């Protein structure tokens, strides 16, 4: 699927098109379509013979769409080309002289130039077409108000006043839409129109009168619950003076408000305030925050418990007189410690995935104690990147790699003063390939060991991770173990 950024970069007439600005422009595409009761299409002027190409197409949720398929990536139709060219070159809104016949009734097309200020100059950079059904019927007061709001916003686009580049571009989760509730304010902040959904939202806050004719700032002041913190941006939003978004909370009800200031000739003429009841959404977000905190606490406690187990194993190893039992306890302590590192990393963030490079670098430090026991000086080196892995991958992989590095130190580099263990990580979309190489004595007679460490590695890689492992003798000196782990089971969302 072709993205807006790709279309702009491939077809824009300018050498350095402002892709973020176009993203900001189409960010309110659905709002324009809903207010205008029309399909809206954004046309980008191109270098090619087609003249214009469609960047974005939004269908109205307030009325039926006129087009079964969208126009994104398509050249402008011949029926609209002259109108679009005229709007772009004349820098003015061009109305169709005659309705366009369609399958569901006549359609009226309107071409609106989109301008932005560049270095103090007003430059037309695109054209919007609106396509609305002109069936004969009496529009409601809400429809007339919505269309007037759309007309104000479109006229602001012709002089570079919309979209407002001072408006924040935060996440749109829970953002109010025209259908959720719309309030029209005059320049003094007095409500001149409130849709039924907007009035219902304020009724849920405890308001029992009519909004129209009242100052929205005074109404919200009366409703504010002193037990809740008040966002400092609230006064600017409810007076329509800033293009911001805020919440008002009272009596366990949360209403999200978003202001869109309206200007004409450089003067503020009022504002649109969109209202949405986001009570359930906020409850869900709070529930997720609580669950995330609980999960982090669980990982923290698991890490603490594992560290306690490792400490007990260390104490037991020191009190054991049998060399074989002592070595077994030391190995068990190291394995528990490597698992604890993963849980420690998981306890630090909200995600259940970890930066495995950081995890593995911490587990590598465990090998220094192994090297000192075996009278060796070993240097470890990591090349490449493992990337981010979910905990289901991170725990077995960390344990398996710790075993391989430990085996290299214990069996290949014992007594060496110039030991080197190099770990190469190579990751693509489908596979993670890890090579563990050492400059030690190599595999005895080319045989793979049959000890507990080797069995643990085989079980983790082939069983837990559905991967493959290969032990080999390096041509020059030492051993090379190659692990291939398929990533097809990763959640790509």
CATH code of the domain covering residue 482: 3.30.565.10
The answer to whether residue 170 is domain-embedded is: no
Residue 33 DSSP class: H
Q: Does one domain contain both 272 and 301?
A: no
Q: Tokens standing for 241?
A: 């003076």
| pLDDT given for residue 355 in this prediction | 85
Residues 411, 452, single domain; the answer is yes
Query: Domain for residue 456, yes or no?
Result: yes
360 in a structural domain = no
Residue 274 CB: number of other CB atoms within 10 A? 22
Q: In terms of residues, how long is the chain?
A: 493
Whole-prediction pTM: 0.64
Paired sense of beta strands 378-384 and 419-427, if any: parallel
| Domain assignment of residue 114, given as a range | 4-158
| Six token digits for residue 470 | 């290969």
Do 265 and 292 reside in the same domain of the chain? no
Show which of 218, 250, 277 is a domain's final residue. Answer: 277
Per-residue pLDDT of the chain (493 residues; tens, 9 = 90+): 568 888 887 777 765 557 888 888 888 889 999 999 999 999 999 877 778 999 999 999 988 888 888 889 899 998 899 999 999 999 999 998 777 665 455 788 999 999 988 777 888 999 999 999 877 667 899 999 999 999 999 999 999 999 887 777 665 666 889 999 999 999 999 999 999 999 999 998 888 899 999 999 999 988 887 666 677 888 999 999 999 888 888 777 888 999 999 999 889 999 999 999 888 877 776 777 667 777 777 777 777 777 888 788 878 878 888 878 877 787 787 777 777 777 777 777 666 778 888 888 887 776 666 655 556 677 788 888 888 888 788 888 888 888 888 777 777 676 677 778 888 989 888 889 988 888 877 666 556 666 777 788 888 888 888 888 888 776 667 788 888 988 876 654 4
Judge if 26 and 84 occupy the same domain. yes
Question: Is 358 within the bounds of a domain?
Answer: no
Cα–Cα distance between 357 and 387 in angstroms, integer? 6
Sign of the CA dihedral running 185, 187, 189, 191: negative
> Is the same domain home to 13 and 152?
yes
In a shared domain, residues 284 and 222: no
d(CA 360, CA 386): 9
CB burial of residue 223 (10 Å; 0-12, 13-18, 19+): middle
- The reply to whether 411 and 493 lie within a common domain is yes
Regarding whether 86 and 46 lie in a shared domain, the answer is: yes
Based on the domain organization, do 8 and 126 belong to the same domain?
A: yes
- Same domain flag for 298 and 431: no
Sign of CA pseudo-dihedral 135, 138, 140, 145: positive
- Please give the Cα distance from 308 to 313 (Å, whole number): 9
> Would you say residue 164 lies in a domain?
no
CA distance 220 to 217: 5
What CATH number is attached to the domain comprising 265? 3.30.450.20
The answer to whether residue 173 is domain-embedded is no
**pLDDT (0 to 100) of residue 265:** 85
The answer to whether residue 479 sits within a structural domain is yes
**And the tokens for 94?**
């061009």
pLDDT for 493: 44
Count up the domains in the chain and report the number. 4
CATH code for position 45: 3.30.450.280
Task: Specify if 165 maps to a domain.
Answer: no
Same domain, 47 and 130: yes
- Same-domain status, 304 and 316: yes
Give yes or no for a contact between 462 and 486, defined as CB atoms under 8 angstroms apart.
no
């Amino acid at each position: 699927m072709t993205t807006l950024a790709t279309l702009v970069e491939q077809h824009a007439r300018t050498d350095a098109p402002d892709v973020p600005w176009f993203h900001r422009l189409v960010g309110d595409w659905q709002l324009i379509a809903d207010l205008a009761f029309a399909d809206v299409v954004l046309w980008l002027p191109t270098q090619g013979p087609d003249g214009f190409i469609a960047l974005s197409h939004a269908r109205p949720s307030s009325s039926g769409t006129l087009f079964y398929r969208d126009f994104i990536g398509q050249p402008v139709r011949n029926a609209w080309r002259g109108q679009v060219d005229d709007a772009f070159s004349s820098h003015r809104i061009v109305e169709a002289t005659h309705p366009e016949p369609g399958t569901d009734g006549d359609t009226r097309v309107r071409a609106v130039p989109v301008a932005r200020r560049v270095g103090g100059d007003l430059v037309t950079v695109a054209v919007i077409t609106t396509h609305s059904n002109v069936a004969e019927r009496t529009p409601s007061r809400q429809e007339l108000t919505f269309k007037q709001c759309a007309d104000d916003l479109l006229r602001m686009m012709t002089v570079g006043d919309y979209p407002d580049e001072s408006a924040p571009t935060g996440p749109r989760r829970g953002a109010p839409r025209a259908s959720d509730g719309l309030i029209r304010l005059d320049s003094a902040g007095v409500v001149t129109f409130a849709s039924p959904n907007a009035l219902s939202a304020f009724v849920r806050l405890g308001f029992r009168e009519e909004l129209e004719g009242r100052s929205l700032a005074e109404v919200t002041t009366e409703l504010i619950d002193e037990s809740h913190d008040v966002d400092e941006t609230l006064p600017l939003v409810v007076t329509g003076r800033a293009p911001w978004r805020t919440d008002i909370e009272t009596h366990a009800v949360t209403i999200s408000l978003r202001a869109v200031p309206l200007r004409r000739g450089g003067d503020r003429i009022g504002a649109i305030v969109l209202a949405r009841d986001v009570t359930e959404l906020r409850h869900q977000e709070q529930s997720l925050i609580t669950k995330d905190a609980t999960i982090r606490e669980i990982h923290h406690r698991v890490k603490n418990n594992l560290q306690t187990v490792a400490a007990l194993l260390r104490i037991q190893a020191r009190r054991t007189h049998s060399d074989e039992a002592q070595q077994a306890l030391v190995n068990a302590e190291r394995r528990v410690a490597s698992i604890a590192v993963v849980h420690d990393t998981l306890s630090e963030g909200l995600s259940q995935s970890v930066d495995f490079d950081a995890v593995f670098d911490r587990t590598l430090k465990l090998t220094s104690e192994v090297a000192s026991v075996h009278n060796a000086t070993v240097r470890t080196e990591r090349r490449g990147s493992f990337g981010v892995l979910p905990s289901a991958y991170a725990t077995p992989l960390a344990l398996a790699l710790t075993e391989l590095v430990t085996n290299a130190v214990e069996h290949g580099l014992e007594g060496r003063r110039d030991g080197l263990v190099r770990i190469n990580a190579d990751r693509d979309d489908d596979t993670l390939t890890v090579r563990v190489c050492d400059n030690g004595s190599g595999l005895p007679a080319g045989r793979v060991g049959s000890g507990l460490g080797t069995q643990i590695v085989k079980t983790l890689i082939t069983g837990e991770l559905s991967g493959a492992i290969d032990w080999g003798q390096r041509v020059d000196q030492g051993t090379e173990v190659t692990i291939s782990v398929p990533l097809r089971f990763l959640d790509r969302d």
